[in-house]
Amino acid sequence: MPNPGNPSDGPLHPPLAALAALRAGHRRYLAGTATGSPGPAPTVAVFSCADPQPAAETLFPGVDLYVVRTAGLAVGPSVLGSLEYAVDRLGVPLVVVLGHDRCGAAAGAGDGAVRRAAALLLQRSTLLARAVTAGHCAVVGMSWRAELGRVRPVPRVAPAPAARLRSRARPPAARPAGAPR
């Protein structure tokens, strides 16, 4: 069975391909080899805090990003409209909610702020929620950890379409003749 995380096994579903590109960009950042240039259209939308942490463009070199920043990951009409535009009009398959430690703008910052912001995006935007449900887009959480000098994933942020996509990609199990449906 193909491994969705291994490009040699065939084409990835767009959200998974975008996540793989983002991770490769962050590996370039960590290695200090910020090579590669973004393509002609964004592949990832990043919703991040406006605090002076490393910018998403610095953390993910070589990845064409569509970046939206607000203080404390505040989800308002401008953020929703911008991310809906990225997903609906630009075809961006991945939205990353990027938080950070020691946020001065968000009470209870950290992973909780990332989870709350992701939940609000999906609650307040029917378009984003439908895109995630249909598997056209994924919403993932990440957090910049200054003490580690790296971005790490924030688990359990939004419904994970990747698992559903993998299960859909599997052929249905053969039923013995006469077996109940």
* Binding site as annotated, residues: 49, 51, 100, 103
Who contacts 160 (Cβ-Cβ below 8 Å, separation ≥6)? Answer: 138
User: What angle, rounded to 10 degrees, do the helices at 77-88 and 111-124 form?
Assistant: 70
Say whether 29 sits in a helix, a strand or coil.
helix
List, in sequence order, every residue forming a beta bridge with 65; answer none if it has no partner: 44
Known binding-site residues for Zn(2+) equal 49, 51, 100, 103
CA distance 1 to 127: 32
The answer to whether 141 and 115 are in contact (CB under 8 A) is yes
Q: Measure the CA dihedral 5/36/41/134, to 10°.
A: 10
Tell me 95's DSSP state.
Answer: E
| Radius of gyration from C-alpha coordinates of the chain | 17
**CA geometry: angle at 162 spanning 22 and 60, to 5°?**
5
